[in-house]
Amino acid sequence: MKYYVLKNGDYYLGEINKKENKLINFTIDTEYKKLYFDFEEAEEDRKLIYIETGLNLEVKLLKEVKENE
């Protein structure tokens, strides 16, 4: 399983609130990170934040965990 975060330098997306594809608010933090399990969902949030604020975050792989079979 892969975990993704939105990141810019040492700063991470902490939380995001949206409604009907409209950004309501979000927080940026140096420690707390919103984890995404789906790359496409992370990319959609990244685009939404960029379009509405101009803040250019990057989708980064936080870690990959191998599941036991």
Q: How is the chain split into domains, by residue range?
A: 2-64
Tokens found for residue 61: 């792989």
Query: Is pTM, for the whole model, over 0.85?
Result: yes
Q: Which residues, including other chains, have CB under 8 Å from residue 61's CB and lie 6 or more apart?
A: 2, 3, 4
φ/ψ of 16, rounded to 5, equals -140, 135
CA atoms within 13 A on the CB side of 18: 14
pLDDT digits over 30-67, tens only? Answer: 999 999 999 999 999 999 999 999 999 999 998 777 66
